[in-house]
Chains A and B, each alone.
Chain A
Amino acid sequence: AQKITQTQPGMFVQEKEAVTLDCTYDTSDPSYGLFWYKQPSSGEMIFLIYQGSYDQQNATEGRYSLNFQKARKSANLVISASQLGDSAMYFCAMREGGNYGQNFVFGPGTRLSVLP
């Protein structure tokens, strides 16, 4: 079974608008971490934002925020005020287990295209 599901293969958004990229996860471990990465066409994977399973508040990093709904096992990425440079692949990932250094599982990704 897929541990990370990203149901949107591709998304379009108008420049300056907000966009939500969906991510659902599957784990029975009470301690886990959720991550979002951006991969532009250059190929480099860039860390965007992190949410721990015990965090009470949704994580925010500049224009990025994570809409964490634990009961629904979803961790959607919200990008506010989209910019042309946001066009890229976006991957949701999960680290299971409470110990530092556990393995990560990545979703299939969503390709975001920002339109001028």
Chain B
Amino acid sequence: EAGVVQSPRYKIIEKKQPVAFWCNPISGHNTLYWYRQNLGQGPELLIRYENEEAVDDSQLPKDRFSAERLKGVDSTLKIQPAELGDSAVYLCATQGVRDEQFFGPGTRLTVL
């Protein structure tokens, strides 16, 4: 069974540019999370989806961040415009039967 797939793995952009991250979850996993992980810290939740519904986006900076999960499968996280402080690893995770989370490899974003 394939794991959580994320692309791109690395992205370098200049500030004020837009950027998008894509996540393909494990088949059948209805709950999907986006996290941001700053260097040397634990992941911080940005948004959680149950199927196609965003059930918790309270931590998402809505002035510049947006997310969607069409048809309850793939998800996209977008930043527009990016700021220097957005440099981080963006992790996508889905939830298994024991509530454990399966993480993708992440997208490392560098904003110059």
Contacts and interface: CB of A to CB of B under 8 A. Distances in A.
A68 interface: no
B56 interface: yes
B43 A44 contact: no
A106 B48 contact: no
Contact of A101 (B45, B91, B95, B100): B95
A35 interface: yes
Interface stretch (B19-27, B62-70, B72-80, B102-110): B102-110
Nearest to A45: B103
Interface string B34-64: 0000001111110010100001100000000
Interface residues of B, number: 26
Nearest to B104: A44
B82 interface: no
Interface in A76-116: 91, 93, 95, 100-101, 103-109
Interface of A is mostly: strand
B101 A50 contact: no
A88 to B, nearest CB: 13
Contacts of B1: none
A43 B105 contact: yes
B101 A43 contact: no
A50 B45 contact: no
A106 B30 CA distance: 21
Contacts of B45: 103-105
Contact of A104 (B33, B40, B106): B33
Contacts of A109: 40-42
Interface of A: 4, 33, 35, 37, 42-47, 50, 91, 93, 95, 100-101, 103-109
21 contacts: A4-B42, A33-B99, A35-B100, A37-B103, A42-B105, A43-B89, A44-B105, A45-B43, A45-B93, A45-B101, A45-B103, A47-B101, A50-B100, A101-B30, A103-B48, A104-B45, A104-B101, A106-B42, A106-B43, A107-B42, A109-B41
